[in-house]
Amino acid sequence: MKVEVPEYSLAESAPVDPSRTALIVVDMQNDFVRLDGALPIEDAAGTIGAIEQLRNFARRESIPVFYTQDSHYAGDPEFAIWGEHCCVGTDGWEIVQELAPDEALDDRVFRKDRYDGFFGTNLDTTLRQRGIDTLIICGTVANICVLYTAASAAIRWYHVILPVDAVSAITEFDLQLTIRQVGWLFQGTITRSSALCATESVG
C-alpha cells in the first residue's frame, strides 16, 4: 500500500514574542537517543544539533527552556507495550548530556509517566503563570510523545511551532503523520530550526 503525503509548506520565518513563548524539549533521553538504549530511535541523535540551535536561540532571547522526561518505575503497565525503559534513576532515564538541563538558567524538567507532557504534570500551570501562549516543541518520538504533547497543548489553545528537523520518529510515515496533524488539525506552524532561529522576535 502506498500513501500519498498531503502537501504542506515550511514557514520561512516564525517570529515569536519571547515573553509569551517557551521551548519544550520532549524526552531526549539516553534510552531513546543512544543506539544502545532500551528503545533507540535511529534518527534521534541526528536531531541533537538542531535542538541545541533552538536552545541557544531560546537562551539568547530569554525564552524559558522546559523538558519532559519519560519516567517509569518497576511494574509500570506501559512495559507490557514497550518493555522496560526510562526507569527512574538509571542512565537510560537521563536526558542526553549534550542537552542536559541547566538549573542555574532556570530550566525546568517535568517528569511524566504517559505520552502527554501535560498529563499528570504541572506544565500547564507553569506556562500560564508565565503568560506563555506559544510553544516550540521538539524532541522524540514524533508520533507518540511529541504529537500527544502538541495535541494537549493545542486543545488548551497554545499555538504550536514544530521545527521538523528537530523531531525524530521511528519511521518516515510517523514523522509525516505528526507534521500533518500539527499543521492541519492543530493549525500549528511548521518550520525548520534554522528559519526559526534566524527570525527577529516580536513584542
List the strands of the sheet with 21-26, edge to edge: 108-112, 65-70, 21-26, 134-139, 159-163, 189-191
Q: How buried is residue 79: exposed, middle or buried, by Cβ count under 10 Å (0-12/13-18/19+)?
A: middle
Q: Is 27 among the catalytic positions?
A: yes
Chain centre to alpha carbon of residue 193 = 13
What are the backbone dihedrals phi and psi of residue 10, each rounded to the nearest 5 degrees, phi first? -95, 125
What is each CA distance from 65 to 42, 48, 106, 114, 126, in whole angstroms? Answer: 25, 15, 8, 21, 12
Q: Per the residue annotation, which of 86, 112, 165, 174 is the catalytic one?
A: 112
Q: Is 133 a catalytic residue?
A: no
Active site residue 2: no
Residue 179 contacts residue 7 (beta carbons within 8 Å): no
- Cβ atoms within 10 A of the Cβ of 180, count? 15
Q: Which of 27, 116, 165, 174 is catalytic?
A: 27
Number of C-beta neighbours around residue 94 at 10 A: 14
**Which residue among 87, 138, 145, 197 is the active-site one?**
145
Catalytic residue list: 27, 112, 145
